[in-house]
Amino acid sequence: MSEHQFNQDAGQDRRDFLKTSAGLAGLTLAPGVLLYGISAYGRAPDEPASSEVRWGMLIDTTKCSSGCNDCVTACNTENGLDGKTGPQDSQWIRKVHIKDLQTSEQHDLPMMCQHCEHPPCVDVCPTGASFKRADGIVLVDRHICIGCRYCMMACPYKARSFVHEPLHDQKPDVPRGKGCVEACTFCVQRVDNDEQPACVEACNKAEHNAMLFGDLNNPASDIAKAVKTYATTEVRADLRLNTGVRYQGI
Amino acid sequence: MARFAHWLKLAVLLGVVAMSIAPMQRALADVELPGLQNHKGAKCVDDVDFIRRNHPDLLRHHRDETVHKGIRTTKYSLKNCVQCHASAKTGSVAEAKDDFCVACHSYVGVQLECWECHSSKPGKPDALPTEAAKTSPMMTSVNPEGLAK
């Protein structure tokens, strides 16, 4: 408890320091220009993920194009998925089409692990394989996973897949194998290297800019500003899971 | 007398044991030790004897640190081992009989399960993350690199 308290205090000090330096930098460079993000997230490789950060994603469904599948393709390429969409195939991200029957309002949106603050998959996991990292990313430790698939049943978002067949030629950064449950990792291997998830990068590259990734805890980040400004929703907000992925326009 | 018989029995037993061990030793000497010549770097990340004895513990510790805490140092990472020890012939540490990991593990009769999930081949040459912390493009609408100029 005391250690936790200490860490929180240290985090506060660091944040204050960064705020001050950001303010100074803003004065010297240009109005509206903030240097806040420069050193705040450049986590050293030997530094553990911190609970000061909460990774989140905001998806603007009004910008998501109905014919576009770039986020799914990018996810498959990055994580070495074969792209098949059968009931026993791994899908870490899906494009979903929704329609309001009364108003005929239609939207497309990508749906993946919502990286809940209170993840049901972690609640039900009998071995502790399903866990939430300090920075809010929900993962499966495949070394501990016994493949019972309780988490798949618990997840309200159908986000998890089970690997049924032996796999070959996995990506060095994304180990996957038969007998384990898996799901979107927010491309944790990229995030730890200060890159954006593959889906977000692909969406921006296609100039749809429907996906925004960043630190919800950092008031100066684009995503924090956006969720503060616009009305955004969680899918199945009634479950009070406080998802890390939020949607705009649905 | 009984004591003498006891000693005699013991001596015979020892003799039998010694005779049975001698050919075994000869047989062991005939077995070719695994050749562990596949490495690109000049030197291992640590003392070779230390790595030989402790690499399972080092890898297990590192895997937990990486998966649960996001610590991505490269010194004891499996990816780093593969990067250096992949054979020139197969490009892998575990495909052919004389590839680095398999050569030794089959010699000692230990089955390796790492490669059911982990890639036994290195990725792109630049696949290893650089140790230096980089600035993050996702945090701000301003490109920090552009600003620094």
Asked whether the beta carbons of residue B135 and residue A42 sit closer than 8 angstroms, the reply is yes
The string of pLDDT tens digits covering residues A166-177 is: 999 999 999 999
Contact B63, A143 (CB under 8 A): yes
Q: A188 contacts in B (CB within 8 Å)?
A: 70
A179's CB contacts (< 8 A; 6+ apart) are A145, A147, A163
Which stretches in chain B have pLDDT values below 70?
Answer: 1-4, 8, 10-29, 124-149
The string of pLDDT tens digits covering residues A110-139 is: 999 999 999 999 999 999 999 999 999 999
Q: Is B18 on the interface with A (CB under 8 A)?
A: no
A187's CB contacts (< 8 A; 6+ apart) are A75, A78, A79, A195, A196, A197, A198, A199
Q: What mean pLDDT value characterizes chain A?
A: 87
Choose from B64, B140, B141, B149 for mutation: most chain A CBs within 10 A: B140
Query: What is the pLDDT averaged over residues A21-34?
Result: 42
pLDDT at residue B7, rounded to an integer: 74
Minimal CA separation from B86 to chain A, in Å: 13
d(CA A48, CA A188): 13
pLDDT at residue B27, rounded to an integer: 53
Asked whether the beta carbons of residue A36 and residue B72 sit closer than 8 angstroms, the reply is no
d(CA A241, CA A131): 15
pLDDT at residue B14, rounded to an integer: 66
The string of pLDDT tens digits covering residues A40-60 is: 467 899 999 999 999 999 999
pLDDT at residue B38, rounded to an integer: 72
CA A28 to chain centre: 34
pLDDT at residue B13, rounded to an integer: 63
pLDDT at residue B145, rounded to an integer: 41
pLDDT at residue A29, rounded to an integer: 44
Domain with B94, as residue range(s), is 48-116
Of A83-87, A104-108, A204-208, B23-27, the range with the lowest mean pLDDT is: B23-27
Judged on CB neighbours under 10 Å (0-12, 13-18, 19+), B41 is exposed
Asked whether the beta carbons of residue B129 and residue A45 sit closer than 8 angstroms, the reply is yes
Assigned domain for B33 exists: no
d(CA A51, CA A14): 13
Contact A64, A248 (CB under 8 A): no
pLDDT at residue A22, rounded to an integer: 43
The interface predicted TM-score of the complex, written ipTM, equals: 0.79
Q: What is the percent of chain A where pLDDT is above 70?
A: 84
Three-class DSSP category at B44: coil
Minimal CA separation from A214 to chain B, in Å: 6
Helices (H) and strands (E) in chain B, counts: 5, 0
Of A4-13, A24-33, A163-172, B48-57, the range with the lowest mean pLDDT is: A24-33
d(CA A221, CA A13): 18
Assigned domain for B2 exists: no
Give the number of domains in chain B: 1
Neighbours of B46 (CB within 10 A): 13
**Above 80 in pLDDT, residue A28?**
no
d(CA B36, CA B28): 19
The string of pLDDT tens digits covering residues A218-237 is: 999 999 999 999 999 999 99
**Above 70 in pLDDT, residue A15?**
no
The closest alpha carbon to A235, from A55, A72, A98, A136, belongs to A98
Q: Is B128 or A71 the better-scoring residue by pLDDT?
A: A71
